């Protein structure tokens, strides 16, 4: 008999079916044995009635995580047992036969408990099977699809950036050194920045997604050492505000797509609908600092950057006063931004750069980039970088790049904030941090 997916069982009421999947929960009640079964499409309750001696015999050792092929009859549940809010809450599978496809050891944690972060990560191949984790990564998948969908519609071309690089692009973020062939040093990229820019000379509008590496010893709830960056870069911009429009549109599309395609996942985390206007509200860094001073008394007006508590305050302000869960802060000082960032001639010392803050944290950095060859070389020198080392990248500029700008967005932080979870590591399948690469480094 052909396999029926669990989500489709309701259509087979009164019929015999075969399902394949895992045991989620086992409950023994006198002579009845109940199971919740799980496959890629959902869950259903099954029961072995007392007269099914053969099935009882096979089932006697079966525990959570055993993989089974189950033959059974789909029955309507008596009215009093219907659980209307649950998938398959109105039916039950009367088990007629069980074939064991794989046995499983007893789980090292209680599957319905609230697990702490260490346990979640220590047993990652198993904890990922839980409802909560499945919901996180299903929602993340929708975010990825929506990101691609929006930019595809805007005429962007996706490309694959290399991850092994000859030098440090940002000159700021910590970088992992690796040993390349013949003893040559090489590095793991911290951002696809330079390649995106070169690619604007090819396709004008490009985006790329994938892992980037930061060799920083952070112990925060928002930093990973390997993250997934969603980057885009677009040519023929007038200035950074064109990029701000594009990222507003992208994030709004992601928010709306989640509300449509990840309804259950959002409901699981009980998050409020995201307020994402067509163009996100924005203010200059200096204006934001003045606002903080005026409203809270905290004077950060001479600081070159926002502290985490400032970012949280600004997001609460936007949520309460600007009908937006996103706020864009522009014009960070030249000293704080990478060499490829365009200065604003109308605001000396400040750049045509911005960060997007979402529910208390920076999720995006972007800017208009320097596209003139001579100016770029000057900017590199002023940051203490050797243009010789960038000759490959500079070739693109020497031979004409259009005015352009773009952004980098962290997928894990975005997922975390959309779902209202606590730590970016929970929104990462297999996080790399100061303590672990899968297992603890100290082991």
For binding to ligand ATP (CB under 6 A), which residues are involved? Answer: 173, 214, 222-224, 227, 229, 362-365, 408-410, 412-413, 424
Contact predicate 331/350, CB 8 Å: yes
Query: Which one, of 305, 300, 375, lies nearest residue 339 by Cα?
Result: 375
Q: Is 253 a catalytic residue?
A: no
Binding-site partner at residue 363 among ligand ATP, Mg ion, none, CB < 5 to 8 Å by type: ligand ATP
Cβ nearer to ligand ATP, comparing 33 with 229: 229
The residue annotated as part of the active site, out of 16, 226, 362, 378, is 362
Q: Is 369 an annotated catalytic residue?
A: no
- Look up 362 and say whether it is catalytic: yes
Q: Tell me the two tokens of residue 210.
A: 């994938």
Question: What is the spatial distance between Cα 190 and Cα 171, in angstroms, rounded to a whole number?
Answer: 10
What does 253 bind: ligand ATP, Mg ion, none (CB cut-off 5 to 8 Å by kind)?
A: none
224: helix, strand or coil: coil
User: Toward ligand ATP, which CB reaches closer, 253 or 413?
Assistant: 413
Compute the least distance from the CB of residue 172 to Mg ion, in Å.
Answer: 9
Is 316 one of the annotated active-site residues of the chain?
no
Residue 412 vs 426, nearer CB to ligand ATP: 412
Q: Which of 223, 359, 369, 371 is catalytic?
A: 223
Q: Which residue is nearest to ligand ATP (CB)?
A: 410
CB of 147 to ligand ATP, least distance (A): 13
| Closer CB to ligand ATP, 44 or 227, in the complex | 227
Q: Is 413 a catalytic residue?
A: yes
| 249 touches 150 (CB < 8 A) | yes
Catalytic residue among 222, 240, 253, 436: 222
Which helix (H) or strand (E) segment is 228 a member of?
strand 226-235
Nearest to 292 by CA among 266, 265, 312, 319: 312
Q: Which is nearer to Mg ion, 17 or 409 (by Cβ)? A: 409
Q: Minimum CB separation from Mg ion for residue 355, in Å?
A: 6
- Residue whose C-beta lies closest to Mg ion: 365
Judged by beta carbon, residue 200 or residue 367, the one nearer ligand ATP is: 367
Residue 410 contact, options ligand ATP, Mg ion, none, Cβ 5-8 Å cut-off depending on partner type = ligand ATP
| Catalytically annotated residue among 38, 252, 359, 413 | 413
Query: What region does 171 belong to: left with phi over 0, alpha with psi -120 to 50, or beta?
Result: left
Q: With contacts defined by CB under 5 A, how many residues of the chain interact with Mg ion?
A: 1
- Whichever of 229 and 376 has its CB closer to ligand ATP, that residue is 229
Is 222 annotated in the active site?
Answer: yes
Dist. CA 306–CA 312, nearest whole Å: 10
- From 214, 337, 359, 404, the catalytic residue: 214
Name 159's Cβ contacts closer than 8 Å, sequence gap at least 6. Answer: 195, 199, 203, 206, 207, 208
CB atoms within 10 A of CB 371: 22
Q: Which does 371 bind (CB under 5 to 8 A by kind): Mg ion, ligand ATP, none?
A: none
- Residue 405 interacts with which of ligand ATP, Mg ion, none, CB < 5 to 8 Å by class: none
List the single partner that 427 binds among ligand ATP, Mg ion, none, CB under 5 to 8 Å by kind.
none
Catalytic residue flag (residue 240)? no
How far is Cα 130 from Cα 227, in angstroms, rounded to an integer?
23
Q: Which does 223 bind (CB under 5 to 8 A by kind): Mg ion, ligand ATP, none?
A: ligand ATP
Long-range contacts, stretch 284-287, CB < 8 angstroms, 24+ apart: 284/329, 284/330, 284/331, 284/347, 284/350, 285/329, 285/330, 285/331, 285/332, 285/333, 285/350, 286/331, 286/350
* Residues in 349-388 that interact with Mg ion by CB under 5 A: 365
Token digits for 375?
């100016």
Number of H helices, E strands in the chain: 12, 18
The verdict on 208 binding Mg ion (CB under 5 A) reads no
β-pair type (157-158, 177-179):
unpaired
Instruction: List the catalytic residues.
Output: 214, 216, 222-223, 362, 365, 413
Which residues of the shown chain bind Mg ion in the complex (CB under 5 A)?
Answer: 365
């Amino acid at each position: 008999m052909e396999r029926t997916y669990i989500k489709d069982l309701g259509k087979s009421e009164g019929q015999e079916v075969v399902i394949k999947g895992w045991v989620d929960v086992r409950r023994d009640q006198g002579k009845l044995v109940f199971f919740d079964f799980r496959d890629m499409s959902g869950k259903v309750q099954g029961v072995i009635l007392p007269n099914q001696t053969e099935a009882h015999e096979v089932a006697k050792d079966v525990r959570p995580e055993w993989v089974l092929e189950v033959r059974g009859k789909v029955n309507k549940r008596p009215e009093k047992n219907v659980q209307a809010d649950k998938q398959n809450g109105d039916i039950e599978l009367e088990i007629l036969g069980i074939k064991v496809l794989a046995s499983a050891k007893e789980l090292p944690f209680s599957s319905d408990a609230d697990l702490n972060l260490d346990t979640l990560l220590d047993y990652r191949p198993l904890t990922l099977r839980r409802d909560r984790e499945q919901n996180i990564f299903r929602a993340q998948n929708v975010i990825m699809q929506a990101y691609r969908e929006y930019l595809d519609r805007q005429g962007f071309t996706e490309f694959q950036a290399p991850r092994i690089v000859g030098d440090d692009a940002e000159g700021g973020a910590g970088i992992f050194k690796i040993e390349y062939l013949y003893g040559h040093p090489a590095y793991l990229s911290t951002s696809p920045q330079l390649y995106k820019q070169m690619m604007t000379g090819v396709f004008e509008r490009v985006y790329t997604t994938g892992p980037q590496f930061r060799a920083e010893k952070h112990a925060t709830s928002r930093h990973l050492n390997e993250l997934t960056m969603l980057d885009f870069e677009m040519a023929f911009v007038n200035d950074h505000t064109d990029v701000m429009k594009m990222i507003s549109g992208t994030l709004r599309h992601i928010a709306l797509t989640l509300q449509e395609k990840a309804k259950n996942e959002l409901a699981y985390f009980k998050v409020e609908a995201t307020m994402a206007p067509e163009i996100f509200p924005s203010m200059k860094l200096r204006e934001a600092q003045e606002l903080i001073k005026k409203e809270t008394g905290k004077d950060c007006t001479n600081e070159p950057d926002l502290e985490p508590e400032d970012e949280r305050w600004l997001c609460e302000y936007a949520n309460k006063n600007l009908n937006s869960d996103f706020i864009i802060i522009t014009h960070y000082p030249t000293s704080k931004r990478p060499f490829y960032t365009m200065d604003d001639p109308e605001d000396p010392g400040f750049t045509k750069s911005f960060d997007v803050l979402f529910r208390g944290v920076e999720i995006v950095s972007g800017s208009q980039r320097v596209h003139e060859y001579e100016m770029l070389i000057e900017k590199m020198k002023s940051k203490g970088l050797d243009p010789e080392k960038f000759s490959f990248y500079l070739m693109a500029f020497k031979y004409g790049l259009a005015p352009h700008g773009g952004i980098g967005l962290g997928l894990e932080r975005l997922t975390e904030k959309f779902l209202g979870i606590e730590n970016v590591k929970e929104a990462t399948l297999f996080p790399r941090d100061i303590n672990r690469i899968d297992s603890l480094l100290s082991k």
